[in-house]
């Protein structure tokens, strides 16, 4: 019996399902983390019809749910849709089954970052990270700093330059950041992943 | 106004109103002063967390919003003007109600209690609840003849868990119609403005903004009035079409109607100048 042991271990590679100990399915995982009730979806498509950004998505929201239900982990965690979603809640407001779509998108984004898969829209992660940097430093969003940091990350300095200059001229972009006095209380909250990777 | 008791509220400005949209904040303060609402800025407030922390780390998102709740003195409601801030503050309170353990650990960390009874409300709700008679008594400039599109963007949409909370649907029309303006129907009132995509992917947002403005122009609106300062900025910034319709934040049009006269200061900060529109109003009155 003991001689068989190494072989069994070899078979039980990370992706294999061990008898009697099934791997948690993608749908169960997303459901548990988001508490969104995604099994209620019957693919009516209302969410996709209402989404203001549907033209820019690679999968409509209901298709994203379908990918989750089918356990297509790679496809769903690397798609663009989860990053383009701004969480406007238009889809959940129109969902006849009261599914919290934005919570599912939040969950999938966090999972994709955590699992280190290829990000569908890396420039959007760059932007969010720049906002986080500003928040960690000042406790408030300093928009000029965020935009400059974002430009540095993406290297697209000329894109949107006209709008930026117009905003500066109208004093809409403050040079000096507004900041929290007790900024240590803020920095103490920053314990998440990006801190180490930045 | 002198015989009306001033009412105290804690006020959460949020990053937009504190900086990029300072004109919305200035006009809000003017309107509140005239109406006898004492908006006391929350001491040492921080960003509500916004969509970026929501995207990158849920604990951070909760912590940022919760710190603001811990700073709010008991006994007076916490008022927000930014619909997104309102959303994140309310979400955090609901989350901490369900998770007393996290609440206790945050309270211990900061040495301050986090009240679960704190009422978090939008300025428009304050106006409707306490200010309708004050509004009538203090109206100084008629908005007669002003055709506006009430633009709520996504600000009334919320996840199913917040559906039972009271929001401010229809209040913009109610308030501004009472002041003489005319709400234009059949425009895109509830379409999201694009939020942060306006910064990261203007090519997605620009056509959307053109559609929103184009529909307003087709309905012969003089202006769009937004509930959110970020919507106000996005609709101005991403309008590359031929219809240059002024976009006003709700607090600006409210302060105007209440007779505030420092509007030059706010309007020079707009990318589309609303002053011709205001002159037209003055003539009509």
Q: Is the pLDDT of residue A3 over 80?
A: no
C-beta separation of A143 from B20 below 8 A: yes
H or E stretch covering B7: strand B7-12
What residues contact A128, with CB distance under 8 A and at least 6 apart? B51, B52, B55, B56, B196
Domain end point (choices A62, A88, A114): A114
Q: Is the pLDDT of residue A197 over 50?
A: no
CB-count exposure of residue B189 (10 Å: 0-12, 13-18, 19+) = buried
Within a domain: A15: no
What are the φ and ψ backbone dihedral angles of A100, each rounded to 5 degrees? -85, 85
Is the domain of A95 the same as that of A43?
yes
Mean pLDDT, residues A69-83 taken together: 96
Q: Is the pLDDT of residue B151 over 80?
A: yes
Q: Is the pLDDT of residue A136 over 50?
A: yes
**A46/B10 Cα distance (integer angstroms):** 39
Q: Is the pLDDT of residue B254 over 90?
A: yes
A194–B60 CB contact, under 8 Å: no
A89–B154 CB contact, under 8 Å: yes
Predicted local confidence at residue B98, as pLDDT? 95
Give CATH 1.20.1050.140 domain extents, chain B: 7-123
Predicted local confidence at residue B202, as pLDDT? 93
Give CATH 3.40.50.11810 domain extents, chain B: 140-284
Mean pLDDT, residues A144-156 taken together: 86
Is the domain of A98 the same as that of A161?
no
Within a domain: A16: no
Four-residue CA torsion sign, B91, B95, B97, B103: negative
Predicted local confidence at residue A4, as pLDDT? 44
Domain end point (choices A83, A114, A145): A114
Is the domain of A189 the same as that of A131?
yes
The CB density around residue A126, as the number of other CB atoms within 10 Å, is 17
Within a domain: A179: yes
Is the domain of A110 the same as that of A43?
yes
Mean pLDDT, residues B114-134 taken together: 93
**B147/B216 Cα distance (integer angstroms):** 10
Q: Is the pLDDT of residue B167 over 70?
A: yes
Predicted local confidence at residue A168, as pLDDT? 79
Mean pLDDT, residues A6-11 taken together: 42
- Following DSSP, what letter does each residue of B20-78 receive, concatenated? TTHHHHHHHHHHHHHHTEEEEEPTT-----HHHHHHH-HHHHHHHHHHHHHHSPTTSPE
Mean pLDDT, residues B89-108 taken together: 96
Q: Is the pLDDT of residue A24 over 80?
A: no
**Residue A155 φ/ψ region, left for φ over 0, alpha for ψ in the -120 to 50 degree band, beta for the rest:** left
For residue B27, what are the CA distances in angstroms to A22, A53, B83, B113, B264?
60, 32, 17, 33, 11
Domain end point (choices A114, A142, A174): A114
Q: Which residue has the tokens 């109600």?
A: B97
Whether domain B7-123 has CATH 1.20.1050.140: yes
A93–B158 CB contact, under 8 Å: yes
**B135/B35 Cα distance (integer angstroms):** 7
**B192/A40 Cα distance (integer angstroms):** 25
Pick the CATH number of B140-284 from 3.40.140.10, 3.40.50.300, 3.40.50.11810, 3.40.50.2300: 3.40.50.11810
Of B52, B197, B199, the CB nearest to A84: B197
Query: Among candidates B93, B65, B15, which has minimal Cα distance to A131?
Result: B15
Boundaries of domain holding A163: 122-197
Predicted local confidence at residue A167, as pLDDT? 82
Q: What ipTM does this complex have?
A: 0.90
Is the domain of A34 the same as that of A84?
yes
Q: Is the pLDDT of residue A10 over 70?
A: no
* Cβ neighbours of B201 in A, within 8 Å: 56, 84, 123-124
Query: Chain A: nearest CA to B218, how far in angstroms?
Result: 20
Of residues B67 and A196, more confidently modeled? B67
How many domains does the structure of chain A reveal?
2
Q: Is the pLDDT of residue A9 over 50?
A: no
The two beta strands, B78-80 and B120-122, are parallel
**B118/B73 Cα distance (integer angstroms):** 9
Which of A5-19, B102-116, B165-179, B211-225 shows the lowest mean pLDDT across its residues? A5-19
Structure tokens at A100: 């919290």
Q: Which residue has the tokens 């609303």?
A: B274
How sure is the predictor about B285, in pLDDT bands with cuts at 50, 70 and 90? very low
**A187/A133 Cα distance (integer angstroms):** 10
Residue B225 forms beta bridges with which residues?
B150, B248
For chain B, what percent of residues have pLDDT higher than 90? Answer: 75
Average pLDDT, chain A: 85
Q: Is the pLDDT of residue B77 over 50?
A: yes
Predicted local confidence at residue B267, as pLDDT? 87
* Cβ neighbours of B197 in A, within 8 Å: 53, 84, 86
Spacing of C-alpha A196 from chain mean position: 18
Query: Among candidates B80, B146, A149, which has minimal Cα distance to B92?
Result: B80
Mean pLDDT, residues B11-27 taken together: 90
Of B52, B53, B161, the CB nearest to A100: B161
The predicted-structure confidence for B179-213, as pLDDT tens digits, reads as follows 999 999 989 999 999 999 999 999 999 999 999 99
Predicted local confidence at residue B144, as pLDDT? 92
A87–B202 CB contact, under 8 Å: no
Within a domain: A10: no
Within a domain: A3: no
Query: Chain A: nearest CA to B165, how far in angstroms?
Result: 14
B160–A98 CB contact, under 8 Å: yes
Predicted local confidence at residue A17, as pLDDT? 56
Is the domain of A26 the same as that of A109?
yes
Predicted local confidence at residue A52, as pLDDT? 96
Predicted local confidence at residue A147, as pLDDT? 87
C-beta separation of B78 from B9 below 8 A: yes
- Kindly report the pTM of this predicted structure: 0.89
Chain A residue with CA closest to B229: the answer is A172
A143–B20 CB contact, under 8 Å: yes
Within a domain: A46: yes
Of A139, A166, A189, the CB nearest to B60: A189
Q: Which residue has the tokens 């590679």?
A: A13
Average pLDDT, chain B: 92
A135–B64 CB contact, under 8 Å: yes
Q: Chain B window 35-94: which residues touch A at a Cβ cutoff of 8 Å?
A: 44-47, 50-60, 63-64, 67
The predicted-structure confidence for A96-130, as pLDDT tens digits, reads as follows 999 999 999 999 999 998 898 999 999 999 999 99
Q: Which of A144-158, B178-192, B263-277 has the highest mean pLDDT?
A: B178-192
Within a domain: A51: yes
B201–A191 CB contact, under 8 Å: no
* Cβ neighbours of A132 in B, within 8 Å: 52-53, 56, 60
Q: How many residues does chain A have?
A: 198
Within a domain: A157: yes
Mean pLDDT, residues B102-110 taken together: 96
Is the domain of A165 the same as that of A102?
no
Structure tokens at A26: 């993608």
Is the domain of A37 the same as that of A90?
yes
How sure is the predictor about A95, in pLDDT bands with cuts at 50, 70 and 90? very high
Predicted local confidence at residue B181, as pLDDT? 95
- Give me the total of CB pairs closer than 8 Å, taking one residue from chain A and one from chain B: 159
Is the domain of A82 the same as that of A53?
yes
Give all strands (DSSP E) within B123-261, no chain letters.
Answer: 147-151, 182-183, 223-226, 247-249
Structure tokens at A176: 């000096």
């Amino acid at each position: 019996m003991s001689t068989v042991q190494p072989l069994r271990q070899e078979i039980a590679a990370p992706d294999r399902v061990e008898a009697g100990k099934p791997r948690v399915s993608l749908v169960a995982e997303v459901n548990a983390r988001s508490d969104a009730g995604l099994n209620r979806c019957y693919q009516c498509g209302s969410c996709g019809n209402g989404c203001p950004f549907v033209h820019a998505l690679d999968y409509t929201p209901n298709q994203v749910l379908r990918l989750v239900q089918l356990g297509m982990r790679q496809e769903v965690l690397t798609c663009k849709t989860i990053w383009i979603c701004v969480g406007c809640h238009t889809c959940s407001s129109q969902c006849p089954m009261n599914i919290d779509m934005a919570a599912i998108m939040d969950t999938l984004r966090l999972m994709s970052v955590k699992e280190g898969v290829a990000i569908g829209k890396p420039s959007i992660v760059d932007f969010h990270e720049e906002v986080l940097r500003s928040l960690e430093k000042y406790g408030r969003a300093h928009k000029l700093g965020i935009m400059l940091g974002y430009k540095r990350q993406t290297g697209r300095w000329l894109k949107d330059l006209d709008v930026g200059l117009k905003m500066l001229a109208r004093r809409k972009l403050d040079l000096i950041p507004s900041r929290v006095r007790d900024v240590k209380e803020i920095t103490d909250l920053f314990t998440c992943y990006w801190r180490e990777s930045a | 106004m002198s015989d009306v008791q001033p009412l105290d509220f804690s006020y959460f400005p949020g990053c937009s109103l504190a900086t990029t949209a300072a004109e919305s904040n200035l006009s809000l303060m003017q309107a509140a002063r005239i109406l006898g609402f004492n908006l006391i800025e929350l001491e040492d407030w921080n960003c509500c967390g916004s969509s970026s922390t929501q995207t990158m780390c849920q604990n951070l998102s909760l912590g940022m919003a919760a710190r603001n709740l811990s700073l709010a003195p008991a006994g007076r409601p916490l008022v927000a003007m930014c619909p997104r801030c309102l959303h994140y503050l309310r979400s955090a309170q609901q989350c901490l109600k369900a998770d007393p353990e996290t609440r206790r650990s945050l309270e211990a960390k900061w040495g301050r209690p986090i009240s679960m009874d704190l009422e978090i409300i939008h300025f428009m709700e304050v106006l409707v609840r306490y200010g309708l008679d004050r509004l009538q008594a203090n109206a100084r400039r008629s908005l007669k003849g002003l055709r506006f599109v009430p633009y709520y963007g996504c600000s009334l949409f919320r996840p199913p868990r917040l559906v039972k909370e009271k929001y401010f649907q229809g209040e913009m029309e109610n308030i501004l119609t009472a002041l003489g303006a005319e709400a234009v129907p059949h425009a895109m009132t509830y379409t999201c403005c694009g939020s942060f995509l306006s910064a990261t992917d203007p090519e997605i947002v620009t056509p959307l903004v053109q559609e929103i403005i184009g529909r307003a122009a087709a309905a012969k609106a003089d202006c769009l009035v937004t509930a959110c300062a970020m919507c106000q900025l996005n609709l101005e910034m991403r309008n590359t079409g031929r219809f240059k319709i002024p976009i006003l934040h709700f607090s600006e049009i409210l302060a105007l109607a209440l007779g505030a006269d420092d509007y030059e200061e706010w309007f020079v900060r707009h990318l589309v100048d609303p002053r011709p529109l205001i002159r037209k109003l003055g003539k009509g009155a």
